[in-house]
Amino acid sequence: MKDREKYLNLGECFKIIPNSYGKPGNRTFIIEIFCNNHYIKLWLEKQQLALMFQDVKKFEEFNKNKFIENINLSKSKTQLEYKLIDFAIEYQSDEDYIDFYFVAVDNDDKTLAATFMYKNIQAQKTSQEALSIVSKGRPTCGLCFNPINLEGHFCIKLNGHIENVKIV
């Protein structure tokens, strides 16, 4: 990848599709990002997906637009696939957009830093979809907050081993 391609401003994106593959406890997560000239598959962890769209949800009350237009999702010219390392989002109140910034790596461990903007109304709809996907996983133990597996759960708090765990 050329140096100038390591830093991308994707401009306005028209659709983000969150998805997961696999069974609970063994799922992988992805968001597909459709922009003017780019189509990006961004693989991420469950916690990253949840955090990203919980942050988006904070801007729901600022939503000025109540109408979502239909968009043609033909595959864009450039198709890229990355694994998310870190992200940040920022709300642009004057235009009612959310700016997404992310750092990711490809299969060859080459780093990409990119940014794009997404309409707040669309981001709120996407956040509902993403948080719904996250919630369909394994239930969480109310005592130790670890996921409960299908074959059972060993809770350190229930089994009396709490003295051996250092809680910071």
Residue 98: pLDDT band with limits 50, 70, 90: very high
The label of the residue with tokens 């989002």 reads 89
Pair (116, 144) in one structural domain: no
Mean pLDDT, residues 158-167: 53
Pair (108, 164) in one structural domain: no
Pair (124, 144) in one structural domain: no
Indicate whether 15 pLDDT > 90: yes
Indicate whether 28 pLDDT > 50: yes
Range of the domain at 146: 138-168
Give per-residue pLDDT as tens, 138-161: 888 888 888 888 777 778 777 655
Where helices occur in 11-139 by DSSP H, the ranges are 46-57, 120-135
Q: Residue 167 has what pLDDT?
A: 38
Distance CA 24, CA 4 (A): 39
Nearest-CA neighbor of 99 among 143, 44, 157, 56?
A: 56
Pair (43, 125) in one structural domain: yes
Pair (10, 46) in one structural domain: yes
Pair (47, 13) in one structural domain: yes
Indicate whether 137 pLDDT > 90: no
Indicate whether 128 pLDDT > 70: yes
**98-107 contacts: CB < 8 A, separation 24 or more?**
98/56, 98/59, 98/123, 100/13, 102/42, 104/42, 106/1, 106/80, 106/81, 106/82, 107/81
Nearest-CA neighbor of 59 among 118, 120, 125, 130?
A: 120
Q: Residue 166 has what pLDDT?
A: 41
Pair (101, 66) in one structural domain: yes
Mean pLDDT, residues 29-40: 92
Pair (105, 165) in one structural domain: no
Pair (123, 158) in one structural domain: no
Pair (142, 83) in one structural domain: no
Q: Residue 48 has what pLDDT?
A: 93
What total of structural domains would you count in the chain? Answer: 2
Q: Residue 168 has what pLDDT?
A: 34
Distance CA 2, CA 8 (A): 11
Pair (55, 121) in one structural domain: yes
Mean pLDDT, residues 17-44: 92
Whole-number percent of the chain with pLDDT over 90: 45
Pair (151, 105) in one structural domain: no
| pTM, two decimal places | 0.76
Mean pLDDT, residues 130-138: 89
